[in-house]
A and B are shown apart, each in its own frame.
Chain A
């Protein structure tokens, strides 16, 4: 009986070895050995266990993990370095890169230095940079989660996804939190960044010297700055959401020293400054919603020739502030202005206000003189300050919209509120009657 059992067990082991030789030997070999033994363009299937890194991939291949597959670096360098084109990493957790900032190389969880890489279904934690694309064109990063170390020490860590001198890449469906910058792009053109969520970082998105890129349907919530576009031209930002970016120097989106940026149909909610434009020119701001920001749009004089149209400005403490003198921008295009959340007459019922709308304020001077003025933007006294200055003739025109829009107001909340009011009034009436009785 004993012999029979032994034979069966031997047979089963042999069968397992024949069916999946690499998996069966995995426990005996290091990850690097497994990678080295996989033929070019072959597939290495990893078990749902911890593999010790670091590892370098120097041939086209696919590594597929399963639930529980964890590649853990030794904390001295990059955990997975891809030196070859056509490498795919699928389903795994990567952690433990070096954090040394004075080394020659900035370490990362995954560093891609070959073209046509695919990184998907990957979680990256406890690393300097999460995923680093360096001269890696035509790559895809899909469904990747990157968790930084802490939002209190952003300066000491790297970026979630760092893209340097890499073109035609797709970054989609990622979730990034508590890293320095969420997605950092430098000298990289024609990238498509779609449906990502970045929170608790310094800048959710940081663009430097990168042209012809597109961002769609991304969400930047609770960062120091939502997105920073710097020295980059011809970008499209469409259907993104920039919200709750609050702090003493916070903004939803900053466009600095950039041209031909099209900001289309985005939402700017609850930011200290929704959109901040500095030293930029010829950008188009179209169809966006600026809602409940301390300042909807802040423009510095150095920023000119922008066109704002079809935007909605609602319940911002100040819709528009121009700082540093007069700024020359168009607040309408082809007879279409913006909606300003202010009472405007439309007697001819053509959907356009009968008179031009002028956004006036004295806050520009105040903000220019001292940044502590931002602390008072929510103060009840600010309206009094504005009124006093208006009476004294100190107000300046921030924006002139020749064709202010008469947007349809949302009826549902109004109806809801009216019903509540009726309910409350009825309740009060009964209380009153009861007390009288």
Chain B
């Protein structure tokens, strides 16, 4: 296992993608921190964290998809996957070890960036440890989900061009298209079908994670809701958060296992 993690670490550190991702993340976050200095003192830190998350919604999924997918794609391209599989590992063991290694390295790198950013937050804002840890938890979940989707894409794509296209398309679908479809469907939502819409809304990890973060940071009150909203919130935000955190990585790990087995040729 350690060999997988060490190999993953070296590959990611030597590549440009991770640094580019971290650089963009730091830069955009610093802009938000700078702006947050003008926020009201009370809850200003929490509002800043939510703004950083809103920015992360664009950056983190994109880089997680690219980094994770290219990581496993390289194993296929450089034939290391075949070597590992013919040695002793089954595809399941290989995928499990590879997934853990990818998750650990990418998450550690992003967390490192946030720890550095925390220094700026502490210096210029009213830092709240609990709020920051909640933010890290949500970012952790975001990374786990999109790393696993990336791993899936890396296994099913046959060429680099295909992989780039698949990554961009997946990102566009999750970040933009799903919401756009929901916006157009919104006028058709009524008390009769609100539960279905609620499931559709909260099974989108970006919605579930943001809603959980917003409520945990005290920026969205769950009291005095309208009847429609009460019907809409069929479960606690924390339950939806856990559901997304468990469901999507497991689903995409299983899909990868399914597609990977069929796609790998053994000489």
Where the two chains meet, the residues of A that have a C-beta atom closer than 8 Å to any C-beta of B are 151-152, 154, 199, 202, 221-222, 224, 241, 243-244, 246-250, 267, 269-270, 291-292, 315, 366, 369-373, 375-376, 378-382, 384-385, 388, 410, 413, 416-417, 420-421, 424, 428
The CA-CA distance from A246 to B216 in the complex, in Å, is 13
Q: A221-B40, A385-B183 are in contact. Are A154 and B26 (CB under 8 A)?
A: no
Complex contacts, A291 vs chain B, CB 8 Å? 38
Question: Shortest distance in angstroms between B125's beta carbon and chain A's nearest beta carbon?
Answer: 13
Complex contacts, B224 vs chain A, CB 8 Å? 154, 202, 224, 247, 249
Complex contacts, B23 vs chain A, CB 8 Å? 424, 428
Question: Shortest distance in angstroms between B225's beta carbon and chain A's nearest beta carbon?
Answer: 5
Complex contacts, B40 vs chain A, CB 8 Å? 221, 241, 243-244, 267, 269-270
Contact of A413 among B37, B42, B189, B219 (CB under 8 A): B37
Complex contacts, A249 vs chain B, CB 8 Å? 224-226, 229
Which residues from 1 to 55 on chain B have a C-beta closer than 8 Å to any C-beta of chain A?
A: 23, 26-27, 30-31, 34-35, 37-40, 42-43, 47, 54
Q: A381-B179, A385-B183 are in contact. Are A371 and B218 (CB under 8 A)?
A: no
Is the Cβ of B220 less than 8 Å from the Cβ of A151? no
Is the Cβ of B30 less than 8 Å from the Cβ of A369? no
- What are 14 residue pairs bridging A and B, where the CB atoms are less than 8 Å apart in the complex? A151-B223, A222-B218, A244-B40, A246-B220, A366-B186, A366-B187, A371-B229, A372-B197, A373-B186, A381-B177, A384-B176, A410-B38, A416-B34, A417-B34
Complex contacts, A246 vs chain B, CB 8 Å? 214, 219-221
Output the nearest chain B residue to A241 by Cβ-Cβ distance.
B40
Complex contacts, B179 vs chain A, CB 8 Å? 376, 379-382
Is the Cβ of A385 less than 8 Å from the Cβ of B180? yes
Complex contacts, B57 vs chain A, CB 8 Å? 380
Complex contacts, B35 vs chain A, CB 8 Å? 315, 413
Where the two chains meet, the residues of B that have a C-beta atom closer than 8 Å to any C-beta of A are 23, 26-27, 30-31, 34-35, 37-40, 42-43, 47, 54, 57-58, 175-180, 182-183, 186-187, 189, 197, 201, 207, 210, 214, 218-226, 228-229, 232
Is the Cβ of A244 less than 8 Å from the Cβ of B187? no
Contact of B186 among A154, A369, A388, A424 (CB under 8 A): A369
Contact of B225 among A247, A369, A381, A388 (CB under 8 A): A247
Q: A244-B43, A270-B47 are in contact. Are A381 and B223 (CB under 8 A)?
A: no
Task: Give the tally of cross-chain contacts (CB within 8 A).
Answer: 122
Output the nearest chain A residue to B43 by Cβ-Cβ distance.
A244
Complex contacts, A379 vs chain B, CB 8 Å? 179, 183
| Residue of A151, A371, A410 most packed against chain B (CB within 10 A) | A371
Contact of B39 among A152, A154, A269, A378 (CB under 8 A): A269
The CA-CA distance from A199 to B10 in the complex, in Å, is 51
Contact of A243 among B26, B43, B201, B221 (CB under 8 A): B43
Is the Cβ of A372 less than 8 Å from the Cβ of B26? no
Is the Cβ of A221 less than 8 Å from the Cβ of B42? yes
Q: A222-B42, A269-B39, A378-B210 are in contact. Are A372 and B54 (CB under 8 A)?
A: no
Complex contacts, A152 vs chain B, CB 8 Å? 223
Question: Shortest distance in angstroms between B193's beta carbon and chain A's nearest beta carbon?
Answer: 12
Complex contacts, B221 vs chain A, CB 8 Å? 224, 246-247, 250
Complex contacts, B175 vs chain A, CB 8 Å? 380-381
The CA-CA distance from A244 to B183 in the complex, in Å, is 25
Complex contacts, A241 vs chain B, CB 8 Å? 40
Is the Cβ of A372 less than 8 Å from the Cβ of B219? no
Q: A224-B221, A269-B39 are in contact. Are A372 and B232 (CB under 8 A)?
A: yes
Complex contacts, A202 vs chain B, CB 8 Å? 224
Complex contacts, B232 vs chain A, CB 8 Å? 372
Question: Shortest distance in angstroms between B103's beta carbon and chain A's nearest beta carbon?
Answer: 25
Output the nearest chain A residue to B230 by Cβ-Cβ distance.
A248
Question: Shortest distance in angstroms between B177's beta carbon and chain A's nearest beta carbon?
Answer: 8
Q: A417-B31, A417-B34 are in contact. Are A221 and B176 (CB under 8 A)?
A: no
The CA-CA distance from A155 to B176 in the complex, in Å, is 39
Output the nearest chain B residue to A199 by Cβ-Cβ distance.
B42
The CA-CA distance from A297 to B213 in the complex, in Å, is 25
The CA-CA distance from A404 to B108 in the complex, in Å, is 48
Output the nearest chain A residue to B177 by Cβ-Cβ distance.
A381
Complex contacts, A417 vs chain B, CB 8 Å? 30-31, 34
Is the Cβ of B47 less than 8 Å from the Cβ of A244? yes
Q: A241-B40, A247-B223, A385-B180 are in contact. Are A375 and B34 (CB under 8 A)?
A: no
The CA-CA distance from A249 to B183 in the complex, in Å, is 19
Is the Cβ of B180 less than 8 Å from the Cβ of A384? yes
Is the Cβ of A243 less than 8 Å from the Cβ of B223? no
Is the Cβ of A420 less than 8 Å from the Cβ of B186? no
**Told that A241-B40, A378-B210 touch, could you supply 12 new A-B pairs with CB distance under 8 A?**
A224-B224, A244-B47, A270-B43, A372-B229, A375-B201, A378-B54, A380-B175, A381-B180, A388-B180, A416-B37, A417-B31, A424-B30
The CA-CA distance from A413 to B38 in the complex, in Å, is 9
Complex contacts, B39 vs chain A, CB 8 Å? 269-270, 292
Is the Cβ of A222 less than 8 Å from the Cβ of B43? yes
Q: A241-B40, A420-B30 are in contact. Are A376 and B182 (CB under 8 A)?
A: yes
